[in-house]
Amino acid sequence: MKLATSVSIPQIKRRRRRWPRVIGIIGLIIVILIACAGGYVYWLLNKTVPVIKGELKISGLEKVVNVWRDESGVPHIEAQSEHDLYLAQGYVTAQDRMFQMDMSRRQASGQLSEVVGAKAIDRDKFFRTFGLRRAAEASLSAYSDSSKQVLEWYAQGVNNYISQAKEAGSLPIEFTILGYEPTEWVPIDSLTIGKFMAYDMANGWEGQAFRYQLIQQVSAEKAKSLFPTYPKDGATIIQAIKDNPIDLSALASIAIAPDPYNGSNNWVVSGAKSASGKPMLANDPHLGLDSPAIWYETHLSAPDLNVSGVIFAGVPGIILGHNEHIAWGVTNLNPDVQDLYIEKRNPDNPDQFEYMGKWEDAKVYNEEIKIKGELPLSYKVAVTRHGPNISEFAKDQQQDTALAMRWTALDPTTELEAIQMFAKARNWDEFKKSLEFFNAPPQNFVFASNDGTIAYRANGLIPIRKKGDGSVPVPGWTDEYEWTGFIPWDELPTTVNPPEGYIATANNKVINDSYPYHITDNWSQPYREARIQQVLNNKDVLTTEDLQELQFDRNNLQAEEFLDGLIKQVKGNANLRSIDVETLELLQNWNKVNDADQAAPLAYELWIQRLDDVLFKPEISDDMMKLFNNKATAKDEMIRKTLRGEKEPWIDEKGGLEQVALQALQLAVDQAVSLQGKQPSKWQWGKFHQVEFPHPLGSVKPLNLFFNPKPVPMGGSKVTVGAAGWNKDTGEVYHGAPWRTVIDLADPSKSYNVVAPGQSGNLMSSWYKDQIDDWSTGQYHTTSTVPSVYQAEGNQLQLIPE
């Protein structure tokens, strides 16, 4: 019998020599397959790129609408009626931002689990509890018929895009990755996104919850030290809190708290200080830095309407911007418009709560949360006379006491009504009249007109309370702490044409002590506003270039106030290491400007940040720290007091300021060494402090390589006018001004803008990340409302009635 091994040795050798050839063929096949797969993906991605040239038939249009996209991707929509204008705006916005729009409405409505799975259940419970969609539904009936029509027209345009994209298989690639298609757009979706923005800028409940927990954990003296101000009836309220304890650890661990740095800058300059002789306006609202940008820049043109600026994708109109006569901008007023009420539950009926000696039924909403790949989840939301019970959603626990939230934005409000009026206002009187309809969130509006007027107004619904000031939760079983109304509209803070020739706000205190109503005690740190005032005061004549430079300003006035004093506290301490001494020398020679290529800002910012660890741990957990919304101002005041030689319990208990500052310095130095090595002179702020503009799918590897733009070094900080909030562990710049604008009313047909990372949410678009370099270096593009200018770009799309 012949064995298989009986072949001759030469035969074996020849076969062995053929193996490299076989491997080469296999390798070639693999390369071809990869190329084919890559080609298919590339084809699939390109298929989703919006049509921006030629003609498209659109159902519902009455006449042809022209859409011109300029070199920055800004759509200029020219329509012959408002019906066609808003229908086209819905269609065009969906072309660029459909996935973002769908995620926005889902997050605000508590419907993310339906498309991303069980990992989003807690987030969905949170927003179902807060009831943003319920508030949007309640608001719809408060709108005029004309505004309801605008919402319907806009929704019709969005739905035109959805149906066409489904039919053509050209929905954004994110839908393919997640395996679902967007449902029909309805007017409530737009209003729900508006309610979410009100939530993102509310900044109230989380501080009250923090102080509720704090009172139960630390001494009254230490708790009082972290209050914005101590309540007039503080002893009574604190006793009520101690008598009715609630475990908020689960809430703190899961809560989606608004960022405490959700502020902004805005200012207006009169013609007397302007090189052109006409007023100028600058605005840069500070929000999250993501892909795509939260703002969508658009120019809308129709008979009797010509307005340009930005809007939240999914909402019709222009919320911030200018028309042919006026310009306007906002910063967050940060008022106390959310109150937490301590509710006593009936031990025999968990859906009843005590009020004025009787048990009242809560209104119960039985929500169904759909979960991708799983059975739906039944979830119950209880709403007392004061609002939704927010203290139990995290683990469905029912305690003897609950916290319910009253909030102005949960009542019917009509911001879209105001937005429609902004677009057509021609002067201050008309613009001010429109503000009657802008209820939530209350904002600092600045205004400029080509008739020479500059003005300011703190506007929105701000409650008046029988007792209390919104700093801590109050008893809900009595009527002593109810709201009795709102600050009268005619008595809201207002300034017109001040003698200084300018008005500036940066979330700072905007009233003096004689103002008769309570707005808030939780004002932002004063450094941005002080720097703006400094620059505007020091120049007699200002240009648009000056305003652009100021928006990007990185002078650190907090360092001006504290650095020398902190260095003095630790300099000469026997426990200083050689690298600590080298770092202090670096800081002493610093010009106190947070430039990206400097070493000193890294040392300073880490030092200030590490003070949190030394001062507040272990008493305050990382989860509770997320709810500590006045931490920055409280810490500033603690340092300020101790540098003056005053007592401060948090610092005194840790050994005094010298010991606290030394410990924080050494923690900061150790962190800097681990990040960038042992030579402080070679450290760079921008190597740590970088902006990435993450995409929702960018958290999943390797999708981050495709959806997240390359990180870019950034200067600035949380306290500079050129704001750049950052993660304390990673350095990621996650917060700042996604949109900056400057306009000179001498020529209202153009404005100077930057929207980062870009206009489009489509990965393959040339406008997906094209503005990052401009944004990170303080540059701008010019947006014109003159047809001959933007039409010269040649990107014309005609929307034709079907």
Per the annotation, where are the binding residues for Ca(2+)?
A: 336, 339
Name the nearest CA neighbour of 420 among 766, 794, 85, 36. Answer: 85
**Residue the block writes with tokens 């979410």:** 196
DSSP label at residue 389: B
Other CB atoms within a 10 A radius of the CB of residue 330 amount to 21
Cα 641–chain centre separation: 32
Q: Is 264 a catalytic residue?
A: yes
What residue ranges in 524-623 does DSSP mark as E strands?
none
Q: Where are the alpha helices (DSSP H) in 131-172?
A: 132-140, 145-168
- Give Cα separations from 709 to 332, 704, 714 (angstroms): 29, 8, 14
Which 3 state secondary structure label does DSSP give 310? Answer: strand
Rounded to 5°, angle at Cα 20 from 15 and 21: 85
Catalytic residue, candidates 264, 270, 765, 776: 264
In sequence order, what are the beta bridge partners of 16?
A: none
CB 476 within 8 A of CB 239: no
Tell me the C-alpha distance between 683 and 675, whole Å: 9
* Amino acid symbol at 543: T
Tell me the C-alpha distance between 73 and 295, whole Å: 13
Provide the terminal-to-terminal Cα distance of the chain, rounded to the nearest Å.
82
Tell me the C-alpha distance between 204 and 28, whole Å: 62
Which 3 state secondary structure label does DSSP give 598? Answer: coil
DSSP label at residue 183: P
Tell me the C-alpha distance between 146 and 437, whole Å: 14
**Residue the block writes with tokens 């600026």:** 309
In sequence order, what are the beta bridge partners of 349?
A: 346
Helix count (H) and strand count (E) of the chain?
27, 32
Tell me the C-alpha distance between 196 and 194, whole Å: 5
Question: Left, alpha or beta for 83 (phi > 0: left; psi -120 to 50: alpha)?
Answer: alpha
- Give Cα separations from 525 to 266, 534, 560, 622, 629 (angstroms): 15, 16, 14, 22, 12
| Token representation of residue 710 | 């390359």
Tell me the C-alpha distance between 447 and 784, whole Å: 20
CB 690 within 8 A of CB 731: yes
Q: Which residues are annotated as a binding site?
A: 336, 339
Q: Where are the alpha helices (DSSP H) in 337-440?
A: 415-424, 428-434
DSSP label at residue 184: P
Max distance between CA atoms of the chain, in angstroms, equals: 114
DSSP label at residue 555: B
Which 3 state secondary structure label does DSSP give 549? Answer: helix
Other CB atoms within a 10 A radius of the CB of residue 51 amount to 12
Other CB atoms within a 10 A radius of the CB of residue 791 amount to 16
Tell me the C-alpha distance between 603 and 667, whole Å: 10
Which 3 state secondary structure label does DSSP give 101? Answer: helix
Which 3 state secondary structure label does DSSP give 243? Answer: helix
CB 161 within 8 A of CB 328: no
Q: Which helix (H) or strand (E) segment is 445 a member of? A: strand 443-449
Residues 6+ away with beta carbon under 8 Å from 643: 562, 565, 657
In sequence order, what are the beta bridge partners of 457?
A: 445, 494
| Token representation of residue 501 | 């020739």
Hey, which residues are catalytic here? 264
